[in-house]
Amino acid sequence: MNLLNIIKNNLFIQNIFASIISFIPPYLEFSLSKYNAIKKAMYITAHDKTYGSYVEFGVFTGSSFNFAMKINKKIEKLFGNSECEFIGFDSFEGFGEIKKEDEHPAFQDHIFSVNEKKVLKNIKKCAGTQNFRIIKGFFEETIKNKSASEIDIEKIRVVMIDCDLKAPTTLALNFIKASLQEGTIILFDDYIFYKGNTKKGEFAAFQEFQKENPNIQFREAFEYGYGSKAFIVTSV
């Protein structure tokens, strides 16, 4: 009797399996998939010798930022020291002013305001010997009309864009533009939201960025989580 027949004749098996899966909180599942995506991106770039910085927009509690540093230690045992610096951007006070086009019931200031001291202390603890910088402030103040090279980010290896909204994502993309290289991987953590509206969120920001910068070519690398996507730069 094959597995399908066993399941057909013993429906309690699928009930148990479904209960186990439903017990896992979606946010936890999403976080695990984000970790795996970062692991993939760090591995691919190490394998291809795409050297440079790991840059994260939207540090929040530091979960993914810390994981990136941890997995880099493991990957360096396979491919050698990459001299990767980790740079994170966040206000730790939420979004600040939210434009009308970016309004969303799940993306609000009070939800994304965190204890900055606690987060930074944990990042420092997790970093160990890894080099990192946290640039505190709203993106309008820290990266608008600036380029990554102005703060000594010459080449970028991996970018985590966890900005949620269109406006800050646009600022982030323009900021890193000159530091992108062949092989850079960009992770868009909230790519599908706003009910799939093509004029809103990270999706819209990326679409506009590609139209305004046709010299930078991208290829879809992989999907992860609940509608998140990763792209790799194929030429600049």
pLDDT tens digits, one per residue of 189-201: 999 999 989 999 9
Structure confidence at residue 109 as a pLDDT band (50, 70, 90)? low
C-alpha count within 13 angstroms, C-beta hemisphere, residue 21: 6
Count, residues in the chain:
236
Residue 163: how many CB atoms within 10 A of its CB? 27
Place of tokens 């979606």: 26
Instruction: Determine the Cα–Cα distance for residues 102 and 168; give it in Å rounded to an integer.
Output: 10
The full set of domains in the chain, from first to last, is: 25-235 (3.40.50.150)
- Model confidence band, residue 1 (pLDDT cutoffs 50, 70, 90): low
For residue range 132-141, list pLDDT tens digits in order. 999 999 999 9
DSSP secondary-structure letter at 192? S
Find the angle CA(164)-CA(136)-CA(210) to the nearest 5 degrees: 40
pLDDT higher than threshold 80 for residue 51: yes
Q: pTM of the prediction?
A: 0.91
